[in-house]
Amino acid sequence: MLGGLFSGAKQSILLGVDISSSAVKMLELSRGGMGYRVEHYAVLPLPANSVTDDGIADIDVVAEVVANVHRKSRSKIKQCAVAVSGSAVITRVIEMPADLNEEELESQIEIEADQYIPYPLDEVALDFEVIAPVEGNEATSEVLVAACRRETVDARVEVLEFAELEAKVVDIKSYAIERSYELAADHYGMDDNSCVAIVDIGALTTNLSVLVGGETVFTREQTLGGTQLTDEIQRRYGLSPEEAELAKRKGGLPEDYTSEVLAPFLEDVGQQVSRSLQFFFSASEYDDVNLILLAGGSAAMPGIADLITEKLGMRAEVFDPFAGMTFNQVIDRNALQHDAPALMVACGLALRSFD
């Protein structure tokens, strides 16, 4: 049997759980006649180095944080959707006979998988999805096959189990981003022909994804994130890492902070975004994007959208995945507004409840 990597039978509402390098973000959505509603959410930081580029380094520590986030959210849901990064996943679109049923298709993919997966098959989790008939040949279908090292998937499943939760779906982060964007596209005036850049400014890296018609056509990762700003605050003002992070989020730093620390960091972000977009333009038919959406924890910093707009000459906005949604009365709207850009992936995962 294949690994059931990116699919899961929809049994009930799923919690979207985004385990990043710096925090665990958890979100519960519901859907009714008025659209989607935010029911519960919570965000808590992770200890340094507990999650790295290579995966989850300390399962016990991360599981404890996940359990605390679940308690803080006050959600009663136990079934979850989590994600692995796109860099951990190999995807291929292959052609298969259209008359194969799911069991026959699965068997055929297992037989042929070693042609396009560069790892021993007993070390990977595989899944597939039929996309559409091949144009001009309805007897053949295009099938998306995805593979990820089983240890990467198992670590996330184990973390949730230790936190007394259950991983019903393991998705890919880029697909979760697409799902969040698709839901909010109308709010930003985008349509199926729009070319949109989503800039996810995380703790350690900045990831640029370019979407055309809601599908990812280009990605690029660069080593620049909010931790570098925190480190500079710590160095310049003699604060502990915890104090520096709190001051970055809550304010209260000396008057020269904006001009001497924040502005240079934002300038670096603008340069990185510009370089990433130039790579995209040079490798594609496009020479412009209709919109830049800024996401991730550092996107909540004041003035970042204006700076990107001014530097690149392109419209930039801070991404709110909850635009147009309603909210449970228990939600702290001010806190959610601040956290919203960092909840892009969690939102896309929570939307798996309604596939």
Inform me whether the pLDDT recorded for 3 exceeds 50: no
Largest CA distance in the chain: 69
Closest CA relative to residue 24, chosen from 342, 236, 338: 342
What's the pLDDT at 1? 33
pLDDT digits (tens, 9 = 90+) for 262-313: 889 988 988 999 999 999 999 999 999 999 999 998 888 878 899 899 988 9
Closest CA relative to residue 298, chosen from 195, 174, 207: 207
User: Which domains can be identified in the chain, with CATH numbers?
Assistant: 15-86+152-182+324-354 (3.30.420.40), 92-150 (3.30.1490.300), 189-318 (3.30.420.40)
What's the pLDDT at 5? 53
Name the band, by pLDDT with cuts 50, 70 and 90, for residue 54: low
**What span, in angstroms and rounded, lies between the C-alpha atoms of 30 and 184?**
16
Name the band, by pLDDT with cuts 50, 70 and 90, for residue 6: low
User: pLDDT exceeding 70 applies to what percent of the chain?
Assistant: 96
| pLDDT mean across residues, the chain | 89
Name the band, by pLDDT with cuts 50, 70 and 90, for residue 106: confident
**What span, in angstroms and rounded, lies between the C-alpha atoms of 77 and 86?**
27
pTM score: 0.89
What's the pLDDT at 11? 54
Name the band, by pLDDT with cuts 50, 70 and 90, for residue 230: very high
What value does the mean pLDDT take over residues 219-225? 89
What value does the mean pLDDT take over residues 344-349? 97
How far is the first Cα of the chain from the last one, in angstroms, to the nearest whole number?
23
Closest CA relative to residue 349, chosen from 80, 50, 48, 57: 80
pLDDT digits (tens, 9 = 90+) for 177-213: 999 999 999 999 999 999 999 999 988 889 999 999 9
pLDDT digits (tens, 9 = 90+) for 114-139: 787 777 778 888 888 888 888 888 88
